[in-house]
Structure 1
Amino acid sequence: MPVDTKRVRGPEESQSPLLFVAGDAGPSSVPGKAGSLGRARARADGRSAAEPRPVFARAGLVSQADGSVYAECGLSKLLCAVYGPRESDRKEERRLSGATLGCEFRFAPFSCKKRAAWIQGNLEKEYSLIMEQSLQPAICLHKYPRSQIEVYVMVLENDGSTLAAALTCASIALAEAGIEMFDMVVGCSLRQCGDDSLLDPTAAEEYSAASSQAVNNGSLTVALLPTLNQISGLVSKGEWEEQTSVEAIKACIEGCQKLYSVVQQCLTKSVKRKIPQLVSKD
């Protein structure tokens, strides 16, 4: 029977996320402070305007994948799996000097209030393309000629800012797979609605901002290489004033730097778990 390589394979065993919270001393909380975009009403979850949500990430949960990570950003839950590098299936891709990167972003049918379909929609295709363009500058593709790397992201629960969270998850999974990278990729989103600027917005905040008729109304997602301090991807939608857009980009960069410590912790714990296994094999 042929193997279905286009679907994210789930773990062989299902385990409660509470086990990982207890084993890794709970979710990694990211403190924040109000910055230049602090003109916002009190948020429902008690955060300040420039404060990202607490993040929990655990790598290596999908045993069939070369690299994987499960992450919770507030109430948003994502699973990412990476396969490769492996020999390319297409002859034209084998002639390339470096590897080809393929990304697939999907919403689970039960992840949203409005039921999603198994067929990939336009928004999912758009997010897949953005992920591919944002991750390519961070990967040493020239080290893997005539090969392909596949990244699959499944959103298990959607509570806003899923594209930014998917970029961070994919970066962790790529590093966990042992793929050489110039730097990690960390994503952060911001929602502007008039004078209100909300970093890492929830689904409710995204919906309320989208229904507003304010002049300054837009959304922004930044993908940052934190060590190199370079932006690998930027997606902007809606209407922006020039000064407001500059402040929004700066706020997203600061948010990415705050989240970078969570990425480092996740990879450090993953390496520590692998060391005893490697020693026992020797």
Structure 2
Amino acid sequence: MPVDTKRVRGPEESQSPVLFLPPSTQSPAGRSGQGARGNADIRPVFTRCGLVSQAKGSSYLEAGNTKIICSVYGPREIERKDETDMKSGRLVCDFRLAPFSCRKRGAWIQGSEERDLSLALLESMQPGVCLHRYPRSQIEVNVMVLENDGSILAHAVTCASMALADAGIEMYDLVLGCSLRQDGDACLVDPDVLEEKGSWQSGYEENQGRVTLALLPNLGQVSGLQADGEMREDALPAAVRTCIDGCHKMYPVVQQAILRAVKKKAPPPEK
């Protein structure tokens, strides 16, 4: 059998690069690698719109080390005629994790976790879109997580809302997402991947869970709520209020990104 001399063959034995990562250090505020950020503060957010030229609308969001890009296509004709609605349009959400986004390399085939995230994203985005304005058509929202460092569903909701606004899709309001990690009597807003697992604080055996909320800030309505774990009855309403405050903190950043994209597409006339 001929040997491919142009290919560089790797070593027969190798070790995972995770073993060479520096150990996580705890900050005085109790957060790993977050400096002086408090438990009720969100991570620094960077947003941009209109990055994918082939899409009708697109957006990019970076929160800490979490990096998400979203593309919107449509409205266009529904491929399957039996799914056509004469009075309302159809919203399709596809949530994907890039194989290199996690510490453990994934596969290109969509798994059960990605399907659950796609359904949660659809349920959160659908109340904010004016689907009755697009009968007999569908709007496709494609979300790709480039790096997973926690709170991916919450930031995917915000990123998808920005992409829909960039595409000119009529909406009742923007949809913003925020997540929270509850550990005993303490809560942590916008946790990273280590903090989601509870490694930021230990010693509690009850009242632990995660809450992800989607909010329409101007209307003051919650469009999506997902809670995991075991939480006390008084802890869940407090967690929801904290997530609502986190969404309002992110709202000015999203507004500025959309306004910047609108001015770029249609600059004001010169006087």
TM-score (norm 2): 0.85
The answer to whether 1:265 aligns with 2:253 is no
The answer to whether 1:42 aligns with 2:25 is no
8 Å contact kept, 2:30–2:200: no
1:216 is matched with which residue: 174, 187, 207? 207
Q: Could you tell me which residue of structure 1 aligns to residue 70 of structure 2?
A: 80
For residue 116 of structure 2, give the secondary structure of its aligned residue in structure 1.
helix
Give the C-alpha shift of residue 209 in structure 1.
Answer: 4.8
Q: Write the deviation string for residues 199-254 of structure 1: whole angstroms up to 9, x where unpaired.
A: 00011111235996620110000000000000000000000001111110000000
Q: Could you tell me which residue of structure 1 aligns to residue 6 of structure 2?
A: none
8 Å contact kept, 1:102–1:150: yes
Q: Could you tell me which residue of structure 2 aligns to residue 226 of structure 1?
A: 217
The answer to whether 1:197 aligns with 2:187 is yes
For residue 47 of structure 1, give the secondary structure of its aligned residue in structure 2.
coil
What is the distance in 2 between the residues matched to 1:261 and 1:214? 37
- Give the helix-richer structure, 1 or 2: 1
Percent of residue pairs bearing the same amino acid type: 56
What is the distance in 1 between the residues matched to 2:86 and 2:93? 18
Q: Deviation above 6 Å: which 4+ runs of structure 1?
A: none
Aligned length in residues: 240
Q: Could you tell me which residue of structure 2 aligns to residue 63 of structure 1?
A: 53
The answer to whether 1:181 aligns with 2:165 is no
What is the distance in 1 between the residues matched to 2:45 and 2:85? 41
TM-score (norm 1): 0.82
Q: Write the deviation string for residues 18-67 of structure 1: whole angstroms up to 9, x where unpaired.
A: xxxxxxxxxxxxxxxxxxxxxx9522312111100111111000000000
The answer to whether 1:151 aligns with 2:104 is no
Consecutive unaligned residues in structure 1, runs of 5 or more:
1-39
What is the distance in 1 between the residues matched to 2:37 and 2:156? 22
8 Å contact kept, 2:162–2:254: yes
Consecutive unaligned residues in structure 2, runs of 5 or more:
1-27
The alignment yields a C-alpha RMSD, in angstroms, of: 1.9
Q: Could you tell me which residue of structure 2 aligns to residue 21 of structure 1?
A: none
The letter of the residue matching 1:220 is V
